[in-house]
Structures are given as structure tokens and as C-alpha cells.
Amino acid sequence: MKSVKIILITACLIAWASAGFSQQGRTTLNINYSVNSPMGSFEDNIVSKPSFRGWNANILHGIDDHISIGLQTGFNYYHEKFPRQVYNTKDGDISAVVTNTVQTIPLQAKLRYNLAPGAIVQPYIGAGAGGNIIMFNQYLGGFSGSSKSGFGFAVSPEAGIQIPFTRSGSSGLTIGAEYNYMPFKYADIKNLNNWGIHAGVRFPLSR
């Protein structure tokens, strides 16, 4: 329920930002399906499997033909269940099936640079900077083992291509990849770094 509320709040922030940007010039809404894979201590100590339950969205306002700025949000859900083992706890040894889950919701400012505006295929590079709402939970069988929630710093460099549907380039297909640097200190966990790929569509919000 908490994650649903947070997603609704971020959706409202995007709607508010789109209303403001649309008064200034060409503005686009990008909506993408994403797949993200854990790295480092995230992969070693929490979840080793990719997240196929993800999306991201951003509103970008074109400063000129090359540079766009805006806001980005999204959602990723990581989940893995481990075979039954014996675990040492403060209440004694417990034989249990451990399940780890991680939910991340980015709230970032975004900058994107179009390397070939007007081309049939337009490569781009960019970056997002801000933070992530993070919710980590570990379950021992049907019982909650440990959890931590909070807001942490995050940086997300990216690269990809845009394929316009129209001559104006205001709508089209987006395909890209990003690396997400996400410090997160808890027990043996040092970070929630991950990399991902995404694909989706871009719509104009203004002319």
C-alpha cells in the first residue's frame, strides 16, 4: 500500500511538471518498460535475479535541438526466494525459506543531449541525478525478518537512440540503457547499484 501511494504522488508530480513545462515550448512525455539487473553487493547479498517489473517515465523540455531538461520517475521491484537453510538469529537457530524484496522509485532531475537531431535514427546521451525512495524487506518463511526504508542519493547516466515517427520528431520510439549508482548502507549491503535497458514511446505535450 505504501508503494502504491508513493507511485500516485510521483504521478501527480509529473502531471504538475508537465503543466508547467507545456507553457514554455516543445515538451515530451517518455514512457518506457524497463528491465534492471543488480550489481555488486546488491547482487551478492540481496537479489541476484533481474527485475522484470519495472517502468520509467520522464518529461523533457527542449532548450534547443540538442539539449532537453526535465524530471524523471519510475518503479522497479526486485524479488528472490532462496532455498531453505538454517539461520542464526537473536532468538536462536531458525530453519526457513528466505525471501528478499527491494522496491526503488527514482525522483530525479534529468538532462539529455541529442547527438543527431533531425536524423532518422537519433543517438543520445544523458544523466539523471537526485534520489530514490527505497524499500527493502526480508522474510523468514511467513515472518518478517528485517526491513529498511528511506530516501537515498542516486545518479543515472544513460545512452540510447530515438527513432521519430514524424518529421517534427516530437513523437517516436526510444530504446536505451542506463547505469544506476545507488548507495545504500544496511548490514552487509553497501549499495543497490544496477544497470538496465528500456524501450518505450515518446509523446508531444506541446508544440
User: Angle 150-153-154 (CA atoms, 0-180°, nearest 5)?
Assistant: 120
Alpha carbon distance 162, 156 (integer Å): 18
Going by CATH, does the domain composed of 2-204 fall within 3.50.50.60? no
pTM: 0.81
pLDDT reported for residue 189: 86
Q: What pLDDT, on the 0 to 100 scale, is given for residue 35? A: 98
Contact 146, 138 (CB under 8 A): yes
Q: What residues of the chain score a pLDDT lower than 70?
A: 1-25, 87-93, 142-144, 206-207
In this prediction, residue 43 carries a pLDDT of: 94
Q: What's the CA gap between 204 and 207, in Å, rounded? A: 7
* φ/ψ (deg, to 5) at 170: -75, -15
| Residue 167 falls in which region: left (phi positive, over 0), alpha (psi -120 to 50) or beta | alpha
pLDDT (tens digit, 9 = 90+) per residue, 51-67? 999 999 999 999 988 99
Q: What per-residue confidence (pLDDT) applies to 143?
A: 64
Count the Cβ atoms, other than its own, within 10 Å of residue 26. Answer: 19
Per-residue pLDDT reduced to its tens digit, 16-25 = 444 444 334 4
Cβ atoms 114, 68 nearer than 8 A: yes
